[in-house]
Amino acid sequence: MSEIKRAKRFNESSLFFLGLIGLLVIFGASIGYLTGKWVKQAGQAGDSPFLSDVSFSTGLSIGLGFVLLGTYIISATLYGLALMHKGVAGSRVLTGGLGGNPSSRKAYPYLILFYLGYSAAFGVLTVLEIGAHHSPANAPLFVGAASIGVAAMVWSALRLWSILDEFFRAIWVEACALSSFILLLIALIGLVANKLELIPALSGYSWLVLYQWVYLITNGWVAFKRDPNILSLREHADT
């Protein structure tokens, strides 16, 4: 492949990556802001006893959490479609860079299970965060659903680690390490600001949501830097 074509492909992938991240951030921030504003107004008006003690920052986190849940469910759906449709499987951006080769297709069922398990566990946390000051009537069901979701995540992640090649394992590890470091820096600044009473303390749920957003962006950036073609709409030949 000529250097001109490589440069053109890199530029196209860069624009696509930046545009995708920009749209995701704008959409998430808009939904989060609107949710936080609505939660605050509903709590002040006394329209919902479940929201009366939820702050604006927590409401914003809940809104961002719903966007994350939608992202995970869409991801599971796309991998399900990739199992049945070669056209979807051949799109690297729709399959997280895996493409439609035989080894990648082996990973699709476990990726579906991982995202569904993640959605179940995180969905339970989101529901509990909305009613944080109210004990759920069916607490064992919530605990059971979350436990099943976590178990599915762990089992599928272990299977994926053995199936995916070194390239994707390296992306996974590097993205986790980098996002954890970034969150550590944010946490240090946030804790200092909280001690100075400049910002309110964030709940554990809010920190979890923040970490997931940092990880999504970091994972995309790490994958893009290792292979600009990973975000292309179609699989490309190197020659």
Answer whether 21's CB lies under 8 Å from 215's CB: no
> Is 89 inside a domain boundary?
yes
Residue showing tokens 């529901």:
127
> Is 209 inside a domain boundary?
yes
- For the chain, the domain total comes to 1
Res 19: pLDDT? 67
How many residues does the structure list for the chain? 239
234, 238, 237, 200: which is closest to 93 by C-alpha? 234
How far is residue 103's CA from residue 93's CA, in Å, rounded to a whole number?
Answer: 17
> Is 29 inside a domain boundary?
yes
Tokens read off for 137: 């009537």
> Is 236 inside a domain boundary?
no
Q: Which domain holds residue 184?
A: 3-227
Question: Which ranges of the chain have pLDDT less than 70?
Answer: 1-25, 27-57, 132-137, 228-239
Residue showing tokens 């949501």:
209
- If phi > 0 it is left, if psi is from -120 to 50 it is alpha, else beta; for residue 199 that is beta
> Is 58 inside a domain boundary?
yes
Instruction: Using the Cα atoms of residue 83, residue 85, residue 89 and residue 95 in order, give the sign of their dihedral.
Output: negative
Mean residue pLDDT across the chain: 76
Residue showing tokens 């992306």:
171
> Is 11 inside a domain boundary?
yes
φ, ψ (nearest 5 deg) of residue 115:
-70, -35
Res 238: pLDDT? 41
CA distances from 58 to 101, 129, 182, 208, 239 (A): 42, 8, 21, 12, 51
Q: How do residues 30-87 score in pLDDT, each as one tens digit?
A: 666 666 666 666 555 555 555 555 666 677 788 888 888 888 998 888 888 888 877 7
Tokens read off for 16: 């696509």
Determine whether 93 is exposed, middle or buried from the number of CB atoms within 10 Å of its CB (0-12, 13-18, 19+): middle
Q: DSSP alpha helices (H): ranges in the chain?
A: 3-45, 56-84, 86-89, 102-130, 139-163, 166-195, 204-226
Tokens read off for 140: 């064992």
